[in-house]
Amino acid sequence: MVSIVLVSHSRKITDGLKEMIEEMVDSTGDVKIFSAGGTEDGRMGTDPLAIYNIIKQSSDHRNILIFADIGSAILSAETAIDLIEEEPLKNKVTLVDAPLVEGAFVASIQAMVDDDIEGILAELQNI
């Protein structure tokens, strides 16, 4: 199974993208989408601990791909990764250098076909 973590300053962006992707991949069960936009209290912003908790929740998944849109969303994702103490878990996590919407969508579709990280990342080079 592959986890796709969506990180943005806006919960509306990540929730909407999560909904769109789940319409395409929900029937397989091979891909789990997580929305990590905004702050816990609903404000604009990012929360490294929320991202870290999603990573921990996905620890039994083969790959965990994080897509972040801009600035501190990327920094928050990097901070969440830095918080991981277990090397096997850290090795499953990839902060993907791709557009949030297109990248997460393509990765989700590719993960339905094959959850191999190299194949997913190769497909992302085509966007």
- Measured CA to CA, the distance from residue 77 to residue 84 in angstroms comes to 11
What amino acid positions are annotated as catalytic residues?
A: 9
Contact residues for 96 (Cβ-Cβ < 8 A; gap 6+): 65, 66, 67, 103, 107, 121, 124
What single letter denotes the amino acid at residue 111? A
Virtual CA dihedral for 117, 34, 75, 68, nearest 10 degrees?
70
Q: What gap in Å lies between CA 18 and CA 16, rounded to an integer?
A: 5
